[in-house]
Structure formats: C-alpha cells, structure tokens
Amino acid sequence: MRVGVISDVHANRVALDAVFEDMPDVDALVCAGDVIGYNPWPAACVDALRERDVPTVMGNHDRKIATGSNFHGNGMASAGITHAKRELTDDQAEWVRGLPRERVLFDGRLKVVHDHPTRRDHYTYPEQFSGDLLEEEDVLVLGHTHVQAHETFPEGVVLNPGSVGQPRDGDPRAAYALVELADGDADKDADADVTVEERRVEYDIEAVADAVRNAGLPESTASRLREGR
C-alpha cells in the first residue's frame, strides 16, 4: 500500500497544487495538520483536502479556528489566522473545527498527530525522534516543525514529511513523503514492512509572494518562503 503524506499546508495553494501534480499514484492520502495559516488561500486548501477526502488531524493553527482565538506576539501567525477567519465559509470552518487530534489508520499501522503523541504543541525535531514515541503502529507521522526527516527504529518509523506550504529546513521547495506499507500483517520488522521516500518539488514562490502582498499579509510571510525558513 502506498500512502502520500503531507503536512503544514498553511494555505499555500500553489505549493499544494505542485505537490499533488508531482505525487505519483497512491492508494491513500493523509495530512498531519495545519491546513490554514500564514498564506493567502485557506479556503482553497481546505476544499482541496475535503474534495479528496483526506484524513487530516488538527494543527495548532487549525485549532485557532476551532477555539476562536489567535496567536499573540507573532505577527505573521496572527495575520494568517485573521485572514483565514475572514476567508473561510461557515461550512469550511466547521470542517476545521471537526478535525481530531490524532488518527490511527490502515488497520492500526499508521498514526498521525500534528506535534507529539502526548505533548500538545511540542516541537518534535528529528534529533528527538525515538522508538519510544511509537505504540502499536508501524509508522508515526508528525508535523509542526516544518522539517522533513524520518528515522527507522526497532519499534517502527517516525516520519515528518516536512511542510508543503512553509518549509523551515533551508530548502524552499514544497515537501511531502511517500510511505509504502508492505501487504500482510506487520511483524514490527520496520525495514521489511515500511519504506519511506522523502520528496521535494519546486513551485512558483513569487506567485505566492505576490498573492501575500495582495491579501495584505506581512511581507515577511513571503520572504521566508524564498529562504525555506
């Protein structure tokens, strides 16, 4: 079974379209949250995932829609949430509010959370990956850091597919991953049962920068896209 894994779309429709165009045929898609925030197209990105019926979890930016709150002390993040609240229809906002904290999929073989399995909003960077993060699943998918990485342990695989819409690992290309789950029952031999391919795809960053300005969002939202930070 081949699964396309995305995370941290952050309302970047141009990057999301590029990822979908680049992605080979998959049996399923999953998203590790933060569909909205920062960039100009929250409604279009919500619709793109809904149309594909993508199992998605709630990220910390998505949660601001659910709670009606906003960020403080981070102008880019705050502006993105204000923009999303203005752009989303009631139906789109209701979909965001209904997103769960975690999903366990494919007969328990893959778990998706946005940040950390037990510590909400914790940034789990690659150096913090460990087999202790896994329970019964073969693959644990995390987002939140915007840093693409994966590591295989005896207990299974920990994967962050990176960010579609705002990479922060020095590579400005949109990030995603492919996971191959071998057929049959998992025997916790992660090397045999799971294969991960990290992928990057170029997209028109300047088109996004122009849209950021036209939407009245901070210029820094555009500039960090060019730098992958």
Strand-strand pairing, 149-153 and 174-181: unpaired
HSE-CB for 122 with a 13 A CA cutoff? 12
**Mean pLDDT over each residue of the chain, to the nearest integer:** 95
Contacts 24+ apart (CB under 8 A), 147-156: 148/175, 148/177, 148/198, 148/200, 149/198, 150/177, 150/196, 150/198, 151/126, 152/190, 152/191, 152/194, 152/196, 153/129, 153/190, 154/188, 154/190, 155/131, 155/188, 155/190, 156/131, 156/188, 156/190, 156/194
* pTM of the shown model: 0.95
pLDDT above 70 covers what percent of the chain?
Answer: 96
Asked: is 2-227 a CATH 3.60.21.10 domain? The reply is yes
Domain assignments of the chain as residue spans, ordered by start: 2-227
Give the mean pLDDT of 113-119: 97
pLDDT for residue 183: 82
